[in-house]
Structure 1
């Protein structure tokens, strides 16, 4: 199963990019993971929240395929601990999921259309974090989940 982390927003700062690369490298023996960042062209950026969300929806739908298993990250989603992330990944693999997509929506959230297409909606925390930091946190949690599934000594209970 491939894992793709999709995120709306600007490119990562160098220190965030280094952290993400660190966790992706550690995950490589078990699973392929990649990050795709989507950014609206500057000429389309607007203060109109609904228009912005609609344009971001178009970017997401252009890339979303029928065989993708979409997990939306949202502060109102289901709160999972790290072993539960691992269990969810194992479940996806058992079901034959080819590509698990973890979506970090835009600053204003996602449209109802995207929310409806999500197979699951998870929350990292009740706190709100900057997108770049969430990307790093998700990369770490993916590594942690696979270390749990493979009985590696990273995660302590």
Structure 2
């Protein structure tokens, strides 16, 4: 039962990180003196939430996912959808680091004093926000495929 409560914060903080990145994107589309403070706050929150998701998910992965003969990895591999691990988890493990880095870059750009009025910096920030959003949704999708692999593996037992 505790296992369920450790995966939910991982997903929840990841979603909050995506929502904050979307909010940052909206603020960036018309960045000015009135909304720069909001932009800076939500960009930092996006990074913090993504980091919390990474820490909680990493802990869950370390403790539960690969647990010898009983972890989700073994359930998936023995089930009817082994690609849930072989492709989706492997991809998630590696692609996530790009999201982690993008989430750290966004606040750095948001705190640049030249952001307002500089179209090049604005485009960079918009690109980083979009990358964070797309990768975040990708992580959510891959996570759902991994969950489906566990469910199918448990159904086969």
Please, what TM-score do these two structures have when normalized by structure 1? 0.31
Higher strand share: 1
User: Max radius of gyration: which structure?
Assistant: 2
Higher helix share: 2
Please, what TM-score do these two structures have when normalized by structure 2? 0.31
